[in-house]
Structure 1
């Protein structure tokens, strides 16, 4: 599902992040500017996101959300390479291959489903995992204990 970078209505402009709808049932509204009322803008955005299949909605951005029960900061997943610690000696890091990429993506999505605003591994990203060499299985002896990037 594609994100909508510019969604406009009489009450304002927002970015609708829909890529998590198929994986998590979540839509994200990133308010860019309010011209009328925040309530009106959010109602329009929420209606579109729900029509796209979103069951849960989160909003953040350039507005005062203090009157709302919750607002989140939308985070992409990233980590500077210099902050990564070397693996302990007993642990083996095994690169994901073309044959194991689908399993890695399924495992990743399952583990991060409960983390609010975590970005899912999309089918397009899954196809690029083995070629990129950045996805890893983590083994301790004969036991697979996790995954990493």
Structure 2
């Protein structure tokens, strides 16, 4: 694995991730890193007024990784980051399960915060994922949120 691949990773997986281990690996052997900002998304038990027993995520293999990789590259063009990591889980998930980890490293916190927020905002709207919730009334597909589009608009 090249240095760029190690510093800028996209992983789509069914298994859970260990936040501490992922952060340690992202900053390993780079004394220039002064800031690491992370975002962890978690399955909620309630969405749009309905109890959620399970959330199932589907994706388009290959296309999804490429799409997220392009988002990381856009962040790198805007801010002087050292590396970014996106881990997104797919398959069936229960409330309290971790769904996504976005991490960005930079020399200073401002760049790391901005890059991390940019990546998650674009990920929520641009990456090819489909979400289906299991509720007491049956299964339903989750539509994009207006708030996600508004968050994305601030970067344009």
Q: Which has the higher helix share?
A: 2
Larger Rg: 1
TM exceeding 0.5: no
Structure-2-length-normalised TM-score: 0.28
Q: Which has the higher strand share?
A: 2
